[in-house]
Structure 1
Amino acid sequence: MTGLLAAATSAADKRAAFKAGLTSGSIQRFPGAFNPLVAKLIQEIGFEGVYVSGAVLSADLGLPDIGLTTLTEAAGRGQQIARVTDLPVLIDADTGFGEPMSAARTVTVMEDAGVAGLHLEDQVNPKRCGHLDGKAVVPTEDMLRRLGAAVAARRDPNFVICARTDAAGIEGIDAAVDRAEAYADAGADLIFTEALRTPAEFEKFRAAVSVPLLANMTEFGKSELISAQTLEAIGYNAVIYPVTTLRLAMFAAETGLRRIFDTGTQADLLDRMQHRSRLYELLRYERYNEFDSDIFNFTLRGNR
């Protein structure tokens, strides 16, 4: 029964694993999961963690990534995903969904949802996708208030609070470095610098900042796609692939739907589909059947 209806690993243990992983010397790879089933696949393949992207949540709801989603929606998705995986889950908490007090509440809600950490960014609220132009960041002092409130609200010391700065593309890398150092001094466990472009820029940031760093390897954005091995060699501690699985799935879904529309059947798409037997394997159908048989093993007597 252990690990069947929910993860076998406690939220506290997942947070401890995340915290330890950041100083292990091995880069922690967190692919994005757009639903709990993908999170189960990420664990089965052997990654170190699962990421929940705000951009993906927005897209899944049919909305652009411009700060329209709510804390309740984000925490609900985070809880659904954290429930099914033994891996730590890092979630995108945008700007904290409001003022500093809202950022503090966000930490408590996400802790209760069972996720292992979150990141807060220094964009003006409401935010926009980090790889779009036209972003604006708040003054450093405002972000320090946002971050300080979040750190003060944390109950589990292993709950990872990551500070994201979008300043590199607006104020320059040196300004982003200054912000990162200030955010670390305010209690951030991990720094996420958005939209660095080249390996040289990642190297420059790593050389200037002593705290653990997270890289964002999103497709079709401003950053060159750098391998996890290279990022590890540079000295990065974690990497996210936020939208990759959604993009793969949506491309396949659109291709298939257009084929059905044009031909009237999905018959020639079967070799592009996950087979029912593989889905059942991932869902552990057989174990559920065994559990069901063990529980409902009584016989009915008479007509009562």
Structure 2
Amino acid sequence: MSLLKIQNLSKSFEDKKAISHITFTLEKGEILAILGESGSGKTTLLHLIGALHEPDSGTLLLEDKRISPPSEKLIAGHPDIKLVRQDYGLFPNISLRENIAYELRYYEENYRNKRVDKLLKLSGLEKVQSHLPREVSGGEQQRAVIAKAIAEQPKLLLLDEPFSHLDAVNKRRLKIEILRLIKAEEVSCIFVTHDVSDAYGMADRLAVMRKGKILQLATPQQIYQAPINQYVAEITGEVNVIAQDLQQKIGLPNTTGTFLRPEQIAVAATSTIRAKVMGIKFLGNYYEVLLKTEGYELKMFSFEPLPINEEIGIAIRPKV
């Protein structure tokens, strides 16, 4: 049985369609990333799932039970669904431990203390548990927020841009720590992001949204290797969009399609496909090389710098 089922969900604000006929399911223990630009409707979708917005049409089921909309409740929301917003939402004048314990204030004291101890350990916050939110890093604040959200063991955790305030180092660390925390607690998770790198290595599946619609939903690897259109190809990574006449001129195999990832292009000295090196950028552990062939520009990745203006042979690798 799927944990969450969404069927034909739609929502408008002042005659502007925010969400349009969205349908998908989420399995127990699954992590789903929703990728899209600002204004694509991804945050509105989270709020609909969390019973914080009223849908215009469609059905939302959690374990085959209808998720009641705000109009049918005194307080909006769902007890088994927790939403973590972009602003951290911690009480500023109490410690991290007290923030987490607040969610369990109606529980027996012994259970509350044991549960908070477990969450602090899982989230790596034991050493800073007595600190105020302003006294810890952004990554530690975010971990505390998530520990607070799952304190009552919800069935579904919703994260709105969980990495948007963090630098690259803290983002990498937090991804690992959140993944460990979610898996340890066996909670399902949907998070939204505008940066596809947040999804890689963390999400089981990826949904690409644009203008209120899901364009493609599959594993991150499947979408990266076989994007359904140019928008999906470009938002999920660097890509060369190959014109039809160029495909014929350089003899691209049918398996490559019209989208060619830079890592599919390789230097091949004996190849009949010739290209001129027009520019090169150092990007840390690899170089981005701008090539020109048959009047078209292509990007490729290389672990070695290539001389500018030199003509080289290139070969096209099939998708892995």
TM range (shorter): 0.3 to 0.5
The two structures have a TM-score, normalised by structure 1, of 0.32
**Structure with larger Rg:** 2
The two structures have a TM-score, normalised by structure 2, of 0.31
